[in-house]
Structure 1
Amino acid sequence: MKRNEGERKSSWKQDPEGVKADILAVATSVFAESGFSGARIDEIIRRTKSSKRMIYYYFGDKSGLYAKVLEAAYARLRKGEGQLDLQALPPLDALAKLAAFTFDFHRENPEYIRLITIENIHHGKHLKQSETIPKLNSQIITGLEELCRRGIGEGTFREDVDPLELHWTISAFCVFNISNRATFSHLYGDDLFTDAGQERLRARLVSMVLDAVRAS
């Protein structure tokens, strides 16, 4: 049931962080469904406990809201990676855990993939305007650099392993699995997108990545 303006004002004053979180959650769905150009602020308002005034107060404008949605999407992924405690594992085990987590995260968060696809359509316009996103995403490269140093140091990784290429490889596999599911399954069937098929692909990714870095 749609809240009236008085209820919205009360909610805004009593729980501003909750209101912002509600706006971001709904905006994520709307932008993922309709893209940046097709999304309407009025639709976000209709689905939330907020008002146009609140959205503009907290996020500035539609572009500002979209940038915060992107930041929140990247932050969820980076937070999940940070909770893996990879430093406590041998390098090969740590890399296997990271690859498997990345596959699962992308599979469980298709909205994240749609948002990234939309941002690529816009040539990274909103991403370039964010100071937060580059800092967030430097974390994964820093972590992989440390992981590669450990692996090379103990002799389990090849000496020419490149952390950025490693991140690209894992991301490419996981993004394609979701972004191209509709067309791929239409052309070739759904076998790879059943639970069993996804488990096989997950294991294939881990095996492929480990084979690529393992010292001979």
Structure 2
Amino acid sequence: MSTPSSTATARPTAKRAAATAIKRDPAKTRANILKAATAEFAAKGYSGARTEKIAQRAKSNVRMIYHYFGGKEALYLCVLEEVLSQLRAQELQLNLGDVAPLQGVLLMFDFINRHFERHPELRNLLAYENLNKAACLKRSRQIPQMASPVLQQLEQLLRRGEAEGCFRAGIDAMQLYVAMVGAIYYGKSHAYTLSRIFQRDMLTADWQASYRQQTHQMLVGFLTSTTPVPSVA
């Protein structure tokens, strides 16, 4: 038989347990860890990041990282998939079927430009992963699948422009996409070093706007030129 004092003690304990259960939000905890991990990996790369720091940023603990993600490497891969899926999902929301082909390509370029500008963590993560020769990224099945719809969208613009006579024939969608992303990525990720080399601040809004306009002109010239491109041995 329980005594009055033991019953009184049990009641607050039960209330605390119930309150803890109510406060638990697995989806929110997982999202907080993923957000904290994105910031940590983007700042320090895979090798430099620490699970303890990620847990601290997320106001959680290391045990929860292993519970929701299975460990540091799996968490890192999840971060890569998340930041790239955000880019791909938003790219596919562009309504390019009802616009002129040239306008469609420029709209895609401008979207990617804005996305890289607003998400420096994506630029940093890609830089770190390139240094590691895509050691972790190549284990993802999801990331390659994300690219196909975007390339198909660009391919449709190119073929429609070619059929309408406003684009020259034979432009490869993947090569064009890589060229556009390359121009965007390099102009932002390497702006710090290039600004010092050339003694001109490439991070100002004016310089970035001028660079965007010039890249537009390069794209228009490449897409619409009827002059054969000479092969270089």
Q: Same fold, TM exceeding 0.5?
A: yes
**In the alignment, which residue of structure 2 is the partner of 1:207?**
217
User: Does residue 1:73 correspond to 2:72, yes or no?
Assistant: no
Query: Which stretch shifts more, 48-57 or 167-176?
Result: 48-57
The answer on whether the counterparts of 2:192 and 2:203 sit within 8 Å (CA) in structure 1 is no
**Corresponding residue number in structure 2 for 1:196:** 206
SS in 1 for 2:140: coil
Which of these residues, 174, 177, 183, is aligned with residue 193 of structure 2?
Answer: 183
Write the distance in 1 (CA, Å) between the matches of 2:23 and 2:98. Answer: 44
Q: CA deviation at 1:14?
A: 3.8
Identical counterparts, % of pairs: 34
- If you compute each CA radius of gyration, which structure gives the higher value, 1 or 2? 2
Q: 2 CA distance for matches of 1:128 and 1:167?
A: 20
Work out whether residues 99 and 205 of structure 1, in 8 Å CA contact, stay in contact via their aligned partners in 2.
Answer: no
Is the alpha carbon distance of 1:193 and 1:43 closer, same or farther for their aligned partners in structure 2, counting shifts above 3 Å?
Answer: same
Residues in 1 aligned to 2:132 and 2:23: alpha-carbon distance in whole angstroms? 35
Structure 2 unmatched runs, 5+: 1-15, 227-233
**In the alignment, what sits opposite 1:157?**
167
Partner of 1:167: 177
CA offsets per residue over residues 152-200 of structure 1, 9 Å max, x none?
1111111111101101110111111122111111122344321111111
Q: Which amino acid aligns with 1:164?
A: M
Task: Tell me which of 142, 156, 164 is aligned to 2:152.
Answer: 142
Tell me if 1:91 matches 2:101. yes
Cα distance in structure 2, aligned partners of 1:12 and 1:118? 39
Specify the alignment match of 2:63 in structure 1.
53
Q: Which structure 1 residue ranges, 4+ long, deviate > 4 Å from structure 2? A: 9-13
Instruction: Identify the structure with the greater helix proportion.
Output: 1
Gaps of 5+ in 1: 1-5
Please report how far the alpha carbon of residue 35 of structure 1 lies from its aligned counterpart in structure 2 after TM superposition.
0.8
- Asked if residue 24 in structure 1 is aligned to residue 34 in structure 2, the reply is yes
1:108 aligns to what?
118
Question: In the comparison of the two structures, how many residue pairs are matched?
Answer: 210
Output the TM-score relative to the length of structure 2. 0.84
Q: In the alignment, is the contact (CA less than 8 A) between 2:88 and 2:146 conserved in 1?
A: yes
- What root-mean-square deviation, in Å, do the aligned CA atoms of Structure 1 and Structure 2 show? 2.0
User: What is the rounded CA distance, in whole Å, between the counterparts of 1:109 and 1:12 in structure 2?
Assistant: 34
Deviations 1:72-118 (A, max 9, x none): 11011112211221112111010011111111211121110110011
What TM-score do you get using the length of structure 1 for normalisation?
A: 0.90
How many Å apart are 1:215 and its aligned residue? Answer: 4.8
- Distance (whole Å) between structure 2 residues aligned to residue 207 and residue 19 of structure 1: 46
* 1:23–1:44 contact (8 Å) kept in structure 2: yes
User: Following the alignment from structure 1 to structure 2, what is the Cα–Cα distance between the partners of residues 142 and 150?
Assistant: 12
* Corresponding residue number in structure 2 for 1:3: none
Match for residue 13 of structure 2?
none
Name the structure, 1 or 2, with higher relative contact order (CA <8 Å, separation 6+): 1
- The code of the aligned residue for 1:205 comes to T
The 8 Å contact of residues 91 and 148 in structure 1, kept in 2 or not, is answered as yes
Please give the secondary structure, in 2, of the residue aligned with 1:192. Answer: coil
SS at 1:86 equivalent: coil
- 1:127: how far off? 1.1
The secondary structure found in structure 1 opposite 2:97 is helix
